[in-house]
Structure 1
């Protein structure tokens, strides 16, 4: 009887997957987290430390850690990396001046031993803003094609409307199945 219950329970997706959301301050990380949680825009203030929420999507349980993106907080990101399966890097598609900093942070993530098996989803946020950088431009500026050690995907999105966010989760769920 116990085996039958265990098999039935496994059909309902009791497995948890850890995702860490990083990016520079004001990129939209917290807005994305709460868009996933409530399918709505929540008024946020700059994250000091972290936010953590459990998101259930298509019967998959994600524990999502949203980390503060201010320069003084980025040095502590690596303390959250243990057992992380996916990194979501959120890039502000309107912030041309700091894209080089996002590139540096991305390549720090790629070189972390704790993340050697993690896949990377890049959300090119704020695609709804006129004059924003295209996904191709962001990809080129971040030098994504040089990343050979991790599975990665770049996804255009708008955190305010939710457009593109679930396509990113779909990519993550497909990568869970590939493990």
Structure 2
């Protein structure tokens, strides 16, 4: 009988969150999404448009929107901002040549009014590669300088 009430409580306590995952092209956004969804690395192709998946963790349903990062697609990111509660900005730690470009895109997004209440996670991907920038270097290169 106690299990019934626990299940009933969990049913009514389900939380939902809308997560937007963006970053420059080839940062690994789609690979991350499907690793979280399926538990394994899958072969991906560049995202033209978006992928959307629901991830479940305990009593939380996360609707994750993975939006393509090619320069021609980036102006469309703003159409995904509404009702976003969490923002995952994926940085390719191995792409030191474009870290400044990534920082510019992140800063541009953070100025958007629709994202003012969203929680931000900067995910430094590809840390396993030998030439990858370390977390401290990435923080240094993407931090606002005002």
Q: Provide TM-score, normalisation by structure 2.
A: 0.91
Please list, as runs of the form range in 1=range in 2, the aligned pairs for 1:150-169 lying within 5 A after superposition.
none
Please list, as runs of the form range in 1=range in 2, the aligned pairs for 1:74-89 lying within 5 A after superposition.
74-89=74-89
Match for residue 40 of structure 2? 40
Distance 1:9 1:92 in 2: 43
Distance 2:47 2:80 in 1: 15
Deviation at 1:40? 0.4
Please list, as runs of the form range in 1=range in 2, the aligned pairs for 1:105-124 lying within 5 A after superposition.
105-124=105-124
Distance 1:111 1:10 in 2: 39
Across the two proteins, how many residue pairs are aligned to each other? 142
Ranges of 4+ aligned residues in structure 1 off by more than 6 Å: none
Deviation at 1:95? 0.3
Match for residue 128 of structure 2? 128
Unaligned runs of 5+ residues in structure 1 are 148-179
Match for residue 71 of structure 2? 71
Q: Provide TM-score, normalisation by structure 1.
A: 0.75
Unaligned runs of 5+ residues in structure 2 are none
Distance 1:58 1:93 in 2: 30
Distance 1:66 1:105 in 2: 16
Instruction: Output the aligned Cα RMSD.
Output: 1.9
Distance 1:48 1:14 in 2: 32
Distance 2:15 2:82 in 1: 17
**CA distance 1:8–1:139, change in 2 (3 Å):** same
Distance 1:23 1:10 in 2: 37
After alignment, is 8-17 or 22-31 more displaced? 8-17
Deviations 1:113-145 (A, max 9, x none): 10010010011000000121000000000015x
Between 1 and 2, higher relative CO (CA 8 Å, sep ≥ 6) is seen in 2
